[in-house]
Amino acid sequence: MFKKIIVANWKMNPSSREEAAKLFDEVVKAAGLFPNVEVVISPPAVFLPEFKKTLGDKPEVKLGAQDVFWEKKGAFTGQISPLMLTDLGVSYVIIGHSEKRVLGESSEEINKKIKAAFEVGLKPILCVGEPAIVRKRGVKASEKYVENQLTADLKGVADYAIIIAYEPIWAIGAGAPEEPTSAVEMASFIKKVLNAKLKDRIPKVLYGGSVDGVNVKNFLKYKELDGALVGGASLDSKEFGKLLNKTSEL
Ligand code: PGA
């Protein structure tokens, strides 16, 4: 049975190991109550070794990273190798988040990161989504923008199962999400575009942008949406537990 996927993107939070360990413990407990939901926790990379130890052999949650470099080892100051992540038991990696794109990450780099992740067996979660200025021009303009991102980011990637997180940039951290029906339309569009590009597999599409325990069901009740990428609400274990509970009811 396919499980809905909930990915917690902690971004650059929290700022201490103590807070991180506490939040992680609480989240693992909550996730243990809902085995029909695939829960992925993506903390800052520095917390991953400790979390891996906490989880041991029976992970209630899967570990994710927020970025990866495309080379496996060598003189690349500040980068994290895909092999380092798999060695830590990391299963997923977020790639191309708008908060990285705005700092200068290019489609060429994203494309190399996706290929490197697949090569070592990491599951990439590719983030796409239009800025407000494009959205104002309408649905067709937004679709074209997202299609261009998919074409550039997935150049030469043909046969793999990919997870796409559709995150309209204006809805991220805004407290006000996209209309669920518009997110569903975009998810269908993304699947249509990718079905034509990728040969064997059916891509999964998550929605991201101000998802919380109250609104998650409004999105995930649609079969077109395979899960959610959650920022702010994943930093509050009670809210996140509620979000998992609501998702498990679907
Ligand atoms: P948000 O962030 O849930 O705080 O809007 C989502 C994301 O950026 O992945």
CA of 4 from ligand 1 middle (Å) equals 17
Q: Determine the atom of ligand 1 nearest the C-alpha atom of 7.
A: 9
Show the CA angle centred on residue 137, arms to residues 132 and 138, nearest 5°: 95
Ligand 1, atom 2, lies closest to the CA of 231
- Please give the Cα distance from 225 to 5 (Å, whole number): 10
Residues with C-beta less than 6 Å from any ligand 1 atom: 9, 167, 172-173, 208-211, 229-233
Mean pLDDT of successive 10-residue stretches along the chain, which has 250 residues? 92 98 96 96 97 86 97 98 97 97 97 97 97 95 97 87 93 86 95 78 90 96 97 97 96
Q: Are 239 and 212 in contact (CB under 8 A)?
A: yes
pLDDT computed for residue 159 by the predictor = 66
Of 7, 10, 172, 206, the residue with max ligand 1 atoms within 8 A of its CB, to mutate for a pocket test, comes to 172
Catalytic status, residue 97? yes
How many angstroms does the Cα of residue 245 sit away from the middle of ligand 1?
19
Backbone angles phi, psi at 7, to 5 degrees: -105, 120
pLDDT number for residue 202? 73
CA–CA gap between residue 20 and residue 47 (Å, rounded): 7
3-state secondary structure of 217: helix
| Residue-level pLDDT at 201 | 66
Q: Ligand 1 centroid to 229 CA: how many Å?
A: 7
Residues 6+ apart with CB under 8 A from 47: 17, 20, 21, 24
Q: Are 206 and 187 in contact (CB under 8 A)?
A: no
Annotation says 167 is catalytic = yes
Query: Which residue has tokens 């991220």?
Result: 172
Provide the CA 240 distance to its chain's centre, in angstroms.
15
Phi-psi region of 47 (alpha: psi -120 to 50; beta: other; left: phi over 0): alpha
Strands (E), 96-233: 123-128, 163-166, 204-208, 227-230
- Best of 7, 9, 216 for a ligand 1 pocket test (most atoms within 8 Å of beta carbon): 9
